[in-house]
Structure 1
Amino acid sequence: MTANPPRRKTGGRQAQISIADIEREGLRLGLPNLTVNGVATALGVSPTALYRHVDGKVGLEALIGEAILRDLHIVDDPDDGVEAHLLSFARQLHAFVIDHPGLAAYLQGLFPRGESGVRLQREAIEALGRRGYSPAGAALMSGTVASLAINLTAAEERHRPYVDGPLRRELDKVYALLATDELLRAAHLELPQITSEPYFRMVMTGCIRGLVAAAPPNRPVLDILTDLGLEE
Structure 2
Amino acid sequence: MTGTTPRRKTGGRQAQIGLADIEREGLRLGLASLTVNGVATALGVTPTALYRHVDGKLGLETLVGEAVLAELRIADDPADDLEKHLLSFSQQLRNFVLDRPGLAAYLQSLFPRGAAGLRLQRDAIEALGRRGYGAAGAVMLSGTVASLAINLTAAEERHRPYHDGPHQRELEKVYALLAADEVLAPVHAELPAISSGDYFLMVMTACIRGLTTAAPPDRSVAEILTGLGLAD
Q: TM-score, normalised by structure 1?
A: 0.94
Q: Tell me what 1:133 maps to.
A: 133
SS of residue paired to 1:182: coil
Deviation string, structure 1 residues 170-199 (Cα, Å, up to 9, x no partner): 000000000121221111101110111000
Q: How far apart, CA to CA, are the structure 2 residues paired with 1:230 and 1:150?
A: 24
Q: Tell me what 1:4 maps to.
A: none
Q: Tell me what 1:182 maps to.
A: 182
Q: Tell me what 2:9 maps to.
A: 9
The residue identity in structure 2 corresponding to 1:78 is: P
Q: Tell me what 2:191 maps to.
A: 191
Q: How far apart, CA to CA, are the structure 2 residues paired with 1:122 and 1:79?
A: 20
Q: Tell me what 1:93 maps to.
A: 93
Q: How far apart, CA to CA, are the structure 2 residues paired with 1:88 and 1:230?
A: 29
Q: Tell me what 2:36 maps to.
A: 36
1:230, distance to aligned residue in structure 2 (A): 2.1
1:140, distance to aligned residue in structure 2 (A): 0.7
5+ residue gaps, structure 1, are 1-6
Q: Tell me what 1:53 maps to.
A: 53
* Contact 1:31 1:103 (8 Å CA) reproduced: yes
Structure 1 residues 91-130: aligned runs within 5 Å: 91-130=91-130
Q: Tell me what 2:222 maps to.
A: 222
Q: TM-score, normalised by structure 2?
A: 0.94
* Contact 2:162 2:170 (8 Å CA) reproduced: yes
SS of residue paired to 1:128: helix
The residue identity in structure 2 corresponding to 1:208 is: I
Deviation string, structure 1 residues 1-40 (Cα, Å, up to 9, x no partner): xxxxxx5526698642011100100000011111111101
Count matched residues. 226
Q: Tell me what 1:156 maps to.
A: 156
SS of residue paired to 1:112: coil
* Contact 1:128 1:138 (8 Å CA) reproduced: yes
Identity over the aligned pairs, expressed in percent?
Answer: 74
SS of residue paired to 2:16: coil
